[in-house]
Amino acid sequence: MNELRLPLRCKRCKEVLAYGFERVLLDVESKDPYGDPAFVGEIVCKACGTEGELEPTPDAGRILTSHMMEFLNAARGGRTIARPKVMPAETQLRGKRVGFADGASASSIRRSRSRRAPSVPASTEAGCGSS
Ligand SMILES: [Zn+2]
């Protein structure tokens, strides 16, 4: 699996275990030392089963920071990382600054719209063009 593995500590049972996430969103303007990370994926403690009580360890903070720098350096250089593991929670969407939740719903709306768009030629269903 292509996932970001982070050591996280459970606030309930204090157990530090590695968790894999598809993506982590950071609030770059947050006062939180780790950028108030929002984990995309299941955040249930593997030890005690408590949900949403995992916090980043200093090691996780370092991993998040290095990924974030990579993302920002790429953006600054005019490049884009195809599937960034760590990205700012606020993102540019069609020229408008939006929060992640808004961006996610907007893009899913756009996706479902294009799926049943009448302008899509029927020939694409035949499987041509899938490189
Ligand atoms: Zn726990």
- Ranges of each domain in the chain: 4-89
For the cut 50, the answer to whether the pLDDT of residue 117 exceeds it is: no
In the reported structure, the alpha carbon of residue 57 is separated from the centroid of ligand 1 by a whole-number distance in angstroms of 14
In the reported structure, the alpha carbon of residue 125 is separated from the centroid of ligand 1 by a whole-number distance in angstroms of 47
Q: What residues does the ion ligand 1 have nearby, CB within 5 Å? A: 10, 12-13, 45, 47-48, 50
Please choose, from the candidates 42, 43, 33, the residue with its C-alpha nearest in 3D space to the C-alpha of residue 65.
33
3-state SS string for 83-130: CCCEEECCEEECCEEECHHHHHHHHHHHHHHHHCCCCCCHHHHHCCCC
Residues contacting residue 36 through CB under 8 Å, at least 6 positions apart: 26, 27, 30
- What are 27-81's pLDDT values in tens digits? 878 888 888 899 988 899 999 999 999 999 999 999 999 999 999 899 899 998 8
Is residue 30 classed as helix, strand or coil in its secondary structure? coil
- What are 122-131's pLDDT values in tens digits? 554 444 554 5
Determine which of 1-10, 13-22, 112-121 has the lowest per-residue pLDDT on average: 112-121
In the reported structure, the alpha carbon of residue 19 is separated from the centroid of ligand 1 by a whole-number distance in angstroms of 12
**pTM, two decimal places:** 0.65
For the cut 90, the answer to whether the pLDDT of residue 110 exceeds it is: no
For the cut 70, the answer to whether the pLDDT of residue 105 exceeds it is: no
- What are 11-32's pLDDT values in tens digits? 999 999 999 999 999 987 888 8
In the reported structure, the alpha carbon of residue 8 is separated from the centroid of ligand 1 by a whole-number distance in angstroms of 10
Predicted pLDDT at 51: 95
